[in-house]
Structure 1
Amino acid sequence: MAWPDRHTLLPFLSWLPRQTRASIGRDLHVGLSGAILALPQSIAYALIAGLPAEYGLYAAIVPVLIACLWGSSWHLICGPTAAISVVLYASVSPLAVVGSSDYITLILLLTFLAGVFQCVLGMLRFGALVNFVSQPVVLGFTLGAAVVIALGQLPSLLGLNLPSQTTALKALQGLLEHAKDADLRSLVLGTGTLLLGIALRQLRPRWPSLLISLASASLLSGLWPSAFGQVARVQGFVGQLPPLSPLPLWDLELLLRLLPGAVAVGMLGLVTSLSIARALSARSEQLINVNQEVRAQGLSNMVGAFFSGYLSSGSFTRSGLSLEAGARSPLAGVFSALWVALFAVTGATLIAHIPLPAMAGSILLICWGLVDHQAIRALFRVSRAEFLVMAVTCAATLLLELQTAIYAGVLVSLFFYLKRTSQPSVQHSREGDEDILRVGGSIFFGASHYLQVRLQRCQGPKVVIDARQINFIDYSGVEMLHREARRLRRQDGSLTLRRARPQVIEELHKLEGAAHCPIHFED
């Protein structure tokens, strides 16, 4: 077995030597823009995950560096995301007190496990496996997650101190029970932040609306202490680079408890990242290596977990900014992570001035942006079955634990896929004394009964199957065709496959040998 070359082990060596002073300067500027966008988002996502604010910044440093250097996309920028943050919260909050040191350790351990799962898929070249999580599943999950996140932030917007819940119904129930205790000042500040963010997005879409709205709310509360001095603030932290975090990798029972959530969130992260990478590569005309991208995502989460970075995946807003701003290489993402690291060291005390209701308002703005309204409307027009998949996934997200909702969406998608493929296209015509069936699709266990019924409906004893579009046949299909050929032979008829592919003929000969095969073949 040949050893992998250095470009496989260190893929950044294939593009890093080609950088020029001009391209590096451009990427440095793009990285600063990405960091400005990442700062408020990362803090908000950490709070969604039930983590201290600084862990959002940590997740935007080491994991981003590794994903950019070992990935294949020029423009994909990773980091913490809202959907993954809420899945992590739902997976770990039943096991430890939210925000505690044990809770943080479990989040990082789950991140490491998800990274291992992603790395294994990449090394086995199973990158295409993420295609089983269809786009309607992602749309439905994202819509449901946006509702769950929004309900989880409403207590902070209203100035209420309520325990976190893992499902939308429980969160809504607790909110209705304590709505009368809402603090008007918190509501005004949070709603004002939300409205300012919406206005900025409409009037100045290229401006960092989250950063401006948060800074404005913090400035207002600081200049008007008599009105907003008692409003709760985001907990500050000591400025530092991401600290090392030892993980309890020897606790087998704990690993097994976290494994289902790790698989779900790892798959969700890969689907998100690869979808973004493919969309951007279509616009930039760059070919991406799917398996290399999967390995890079896994490596970034495995290593990032030891540097206090919780699970990251592709960020559409930051990746889109990288493309639109003219990034020349993955160095833009590397510089973005370095800019965030600089802020984590020098600007940590500023976070303590951010009012919690203002942060909640900014998260509500993020939730609205999560919902792809245009794609949902298009899905309804194009395919009602896939729209139903989206709706079921969304409902499961609201009623069940989030990782279970992903599995439910995948199962519904597979159900409709098998339902379609179990009835391949069959066109029936008659020429002389021959019944001709043109079959479009594979003959596998799910479709063999349907095709057998169509064969038995033929009136004449001589049946010809136009097999040009049959790409695959399994044992159930082989056995069924042999059985039908013998039935037609007893009626002095025959079953003929015309223009069958060599691999199909080979599979049909395996059952009884070429000499005893009851099926005839024609070119």
Structure 2
Amino acid sequence: MRWPRLAKLLPFLAWLPRQTRASISRDAVVGLSGAILALPQSIAYALIAGLPPEYGLYAAIIPVLVACLWGSSWHLICGPTAAISIVLYASVSPLAVPASEDYVTLILLLTFLAGIFQWLLGMLRFGALVNFVSHSVVLGFTLGAAIVIAIGQLPSLMGITLASQATAFASLANLFEHLGEVDKASLMLGLFTLALGLLLKALVPRWPTLLIALVSGSAVAWMWPAMFAHVQRVSAFVGQLPPFSALPTDPTLVLRLLPSAVAVGMLGLVTSLSIARSIATRSQQMLDANQEVRAQGLSNIVGAFFSGSLSAGSFTRSGLSFEAGACSPLAGVFSALWVALFAVTGAQLIAQIPIPAMAGSILLISWGLIDHRGIRALFRVSRSEFVVMALTCLATLLLELQTAIYAGVLASLFFYLKRTSQPRVQQWRDGDEEVLRVGGSIFFGASHYLQVRLQRAQGLRVVIDAQQINFIDYSGVEMLHQEARRLRAQSRSLTLRHARAQVIEELNKLEGAEHCPIQFEH
């Protein structure tokens, strides 16, 4: 009994003892590749979130270790992401000055609250709740977030310092008002970094193009001081391992951040599970969704106390882990350890990165966020889902980002309820019978639609072919009894044919089998 319980508390005990020297060596190399990819991304995401650059590295260490060791997927690698970072910035920037000590504390508190929400979902085995955030919502939010990120980085690309605005459109309008302040050297350096990154991505997509572009932009600025000496650099910081961070316990702050924590926590889970399932399909691995949800929550709870902002699954790093042949979650563990080594030794190098070059790199990330193929496929397959995607994208530009997530979920539910409230009904006459084959459940949302169809039926004997009806609620039961009594008063009848046992049982509960006005046929 002890071993299964221990394995449940420490899931890594199920796979760690099976590792060999060869698999560990392979995972260490894969982890190094992941760390090289994570370094520029983590710094960029910290800047997007309004955090000092070192906090991006911190978020790629402890949260990644916990998520890999306690998770279910062999290839899912977590860390800071662009979409999560922009939501963090949108949620906390109205409450404190970005990059300030108070701002960092609020970001970590928001991370902790989101982690608690995720962990509770996993403990209550509600991992399936993330399915309510449809893929179209994620596509629309990601597209909108990419646009928001790009607009937010344009001032840095142009060497302009602007106050943050509540929405993307307001930021764009503010930028147009200050176009006369553009610094040509900063713009040249940023565009060079962006152009080089796009070129490398087209020619050698498997190379660490983001890192090469960023290093090249920094090298140009260093070798041409007469032109670029005045260009602003990334803030210097002391190289160290993630420091312990105490979190505030003010109930007012907790309540203020709670709605954002739920939104960003759900977004993180949807992103992580989508990536994990996608890769598991290719690797033939069985996933435990609730264990993965618990691991995501635990990684953010623990990470918040070690200066890590909210983390979620990374498309690029997880894909790299699978494509490079990672043998186990140890690849993610090694990736975090390599990042930790760089956080201690590479602080002085990071301080040499020009802000416009970093902005060019972030624009490159924004372009990579857009799932062009997925958007085209969605347009071909489902126009209603495409509308949901478009509405979610528009909401990210017009509203606060956490509100946009809720708006997208509500739009998805609206179209889902609209579809289910009008189940497919095939209708035909067979002598004195009029048969209606109902292709869906009879619940409160669909009862009125089916009642209208029944009232239009003309046969002396109205038959419902119920073999596709899996569920009926009280509203459906009451409606069918009402229609059966109406038909009986007209010397007609209502018959359910091929009804499932549970449907018959629910219909008989209202008045008892001996008094039920509905007839049943097999």
The TM-score range, normalised by the shorter chain, is: over 0.9
2:176 paired with 1:176: yes
What is the Cα deviation at residue 4 of structure 1? 6.9
Per-residue deviation, residues 104-138 of structure 1 (Å, max 9, x unmatched): 00000000110111111111111111111111111
Query: One-letter code of the match for 1:409?
Result: G
Per-residue deviation, residues 52-78 of structure 1 (Å, max 9, x unmatched): 000000000000001001111010000
Q: Structure 2 CA distance, aligned partners of 1:460 and 1:195?
A: 72
* Partner in structure 1 of residue 517 of structure 2: 518
Query: One-letter code of the match for 1:383?
Result: S
* Partner in structure 1 of residue 384 of structure 2: 385
* Partner in structure 2 of residue 456 of structure 1: 455
Tell me which moved more, 63-72 or 216-225: 216-225
* Partner in structure 2 of residue 111 of structure 1: 111
Query: One-letter code of the match for 1:512?
Result: E
What is the Cα deviation at residue 515 of structure 1? 2.1
* Partner in structure 2 of residue 477 of structure 1: 476
Q: Structure 2 CA distance, aligned partners of 1:234 and 1:73?
A: 35
What is the Cα deviation at residue 236 of structure 1? 1.2
* Partner in structure 1 of residue 77 of structure 2: 77
- Give the alignment of 1:243-254 within 5 angstroms: 243-248=243-248, 250-254=249-253
* Partner in structure 2 of residue 338 of structure 1: 337
Q: Structure 2 CA distance, aligned partners of 1:132 and 1:96?
A: 32
Q: Structure 2 CA distance, aligned partners of 1:276 and 1:225?
A: 43
- The answer to whether the 8 Å contact 1:93/1:166 transfers is no
Q: Percent identity?
A: 77
* Partner in structure 2 of residue 234 of structure 1: 234
- The answer to whether the 8 Å contact 2:50/2:89 transfers is yes
2:9 paired with 1:9: yes
* Partner in structure 1 of residue 374 of structure 2: 375
What is the Cα deviation at residue 431 of structure 1? 1.9
Per-residue deviation, residues 451-501 of structure 1 (Å, max 9, x unmatched): 111111111231111111001111110100010111111122221111111
2:154 paired with 1:154: yes
Q: Give secondary structure in 1 for the equivalent of 2:465.
A: strand
* Partner in structure 1 of residue 393 of structure 2: 394
Q: Give secondary structure in 1 for the equivalent of 2:429.
A: strand
What is the Cα deviation at residue 2 of structure 1? 11
2:441 paired with 1:442: yes
What is the Cα deviation at residue 42 of structure 1? 0.2
Q: Give secondary structure in 2 for the equivalent of 1:468.
A: coil
- The answer to whether the 8 Å contact 1:152/1:165 transfers is no
Q: Give secondary structure in 2 for the equivalent of 1:426.
A: strand
- Give the alignment of 1:125-140 within 5 angstroms: 125-140=125-140
- The answer to whether the 8 Å contact 2:68/2:76 transfers is yes
* Partner in structure 1 of residue 19 of structure 2: 19
What is the Cα deviation at residue 3 of structure 1? 11
Q: Give secondary structure in 2 for the equivalent of 1:464.
A: strand
Query: CA separation of 1:2/1:327 partners in 2, compared to 1, >3 Å: closer, same or farther?
Result: closer
* Partner in structure 2 of residue 326 of structure 1: 325
Q: Structure 2 CA distance, aligned partners of 1:165 and 1:149?
A: 13
TM-score, normalising length from structure 1?
A: 0.98
- Give the alignment of 1:176-195 within 5 angstroms: 176-195=176-195
Q: Structure 2 CA distance, aligned partners of 1:492 and 1:521?
A: 17
Per-residue deviation, residues 235-270 of structure 1 (Å, max 9, x unmatched): 01100000000001x311111100110010001000
What is the Cα deviation at residue 503 of structure 1? 1.4
Query: One-letter code of the match for 1:408?
Result: A
What is the Cα deviation at residue 326 of structure 1? 0.2
* Partner in structure 2 of residue 165 of structure 1: 165
Query: One-letter code of the match for 1:217?
Result: G
Gaps of 5+ in 1: none
Query: CA separation of 1:17/1:3 partners in 2, compared to 1, >3 Å: closer, same or farther?
Result: closer
Q: Give secondary structure in 1 for the equivalent of 2:425.
A: strand
Q: Structure 1 CA distance, aligned partners of 2:419 and 2:404?
A: 23
Gaps of 5+ in 2: none
TM-score, normalising length from structure 2?
A: 0.99
Per-residue deviation, residues 316-362 of structure 1 (Å, max 9, x unmatched): 10000000000000000000000000000011111000000000000
2:156 paired with 1:143: no
